[in-house]
Amino acid sequence: MTVLAFQTLYQIIIMLLIILVGILTYKTNLISKETNKKLSDLVLMLVNPIVIFVSYQREYDSSLLKNLMISILLAVITHVFAILVSYLFLHGNKQEEKVAIERFAVVYSNCGFIGIPLVNGIFGSIGVFYITAYMTIFNLFVWTHGVIIMTGKKDRKTIRSALISPSVIATVLGFLLFVTRVTLPSVLVEAMSYIGDMNTPMAMMVAGVTIAQTNVKKLFRRPRNYYIVFLKMFFVPLTALLVFRFFPIDREVILTSVLAAACPIGATISLFSIRYHKDYIYASELFALTTILSVISIPAIMTIAEMLV
């Protein structure tokens, strides 16, 4: 087993164990549906924005800024392409609500929990810095395009509300402080880091509680689920790889971007489905299925990437 394959397996096992804890808390009545909704809001509105903001609290470097800008551009291209794919290959029908969830699933990956530990193990802290670019674009898109998908509204009020969401505000403020070389007192950053550390366990437990309300056996029985898996975890990242490899871009930047795109569906799909009253059971099924199958898909994608870049 390669280092990359081992890192992937290690992180996914951690994720599945925390999800299992979430399932147990629901089965033993420690967490109810109502409590899960509150925890979901806490992750989306407080913990996640703090994680984003803290990621920008680092020493300024011009070469880092250049590669960060390139990483942001690659992330924008990847997200726009994924959105086009979601509309071209997933069409509305009598189950319009499920199509919205599927389109969301194809575009938005678990670039934080799975992506950060993986790039840290392969490239070190520099890889983590580059993947924050993908996370930045992820948050800008998910709180605009993602909200529009889930609400079905395209009016200015919806977009304006999304643009002033905590995650988008945290992204803008964090970036401004980085480029202006402003560093907050260490005691404040450390305090925020402690809060940010709750992001993974809380998000995974919320997903676990949601999965506990599903029929897990159905995960592997729906042929359409594998179609979503193919689009999200193979078609989008491999197409991005084939395009990016022809440009004079640092290898680490390309591999980091491809890895972020190849990650399974993010727990955000469950959180958003709960918040915006969508079929959160189906959302959690897709989340669980892609997480399990990522044990195979991510090493495969990155093996191909290492051969081509």
Containing domain of residue 282, as a range? 3-308
Structural domain total, the chain: 1
Spell out the SS3 assignment of 168-189: HHHHHHHHHHHHCCCCCCHHHH
Report CA torsion sign: 225, 78, 118, 48. negative
Instruction: Indicate which CATH number applies to the domain containing 217.
Output: 1.20.1530.20
Task: Quote the CA–CA distance of 255 and 242 in Å, as a whole number.
Answer: 12
Percent of the chain with pLDDT over 70: 94
> Could you give the maximum distance between any two Cα atoms of the chain, in Å?
55
231, 89 contact by CB (below 8 A): yes
Instruction: Write the pLDDT tens digit of every residue in 279-295.
Output: 888 898 898 889 888 88
Q: Tell me, what's the pLDDT at 29?
A: 93
Instruction: Write the pLDDT tens digit of every residue in 55-110.
Output: 888 888 888 889 989 999 999 999 999 999 999 999 865 566 789 999 999 999 98
Q: Tell me, what's the pLDDT at 86?
A: 95
Q: What share of the chain is helix, strand, coil (3-state, %, to 5)?
A: 80, 0, 20
Give Cα separations from 182 to 49, 50, 57, 58 (angstroms): 18, 17, 8, 9
* Higher-confidence position of 189 and 64: 189
Instruction: Write the pLDDT tens digit of every residue in 239-274.
Output: 999 999 999 999 889 999 999 999 989 888 888 888
Average pLDDT, the chain: 86
Q: How confident is the model at residue 4 (pLDDT cuts 50, 70, 90)?
A: low
Instruction: Write the pLDDT tens digit of every residue in 220-239.
Output: 888 889 999 999 999 999 99
* Higher-confidence position of 159 and 55: 55
Q: Cα-flanking dihedrals φ and ψ of residue 233, to 5°?
A: -105, -5
The two tokens of residue 296 are 């195979």
Q: Tell me, what's the pLDDT at 159?
A: 67
Q: Is the pTM of this model over 0.95?
A: no
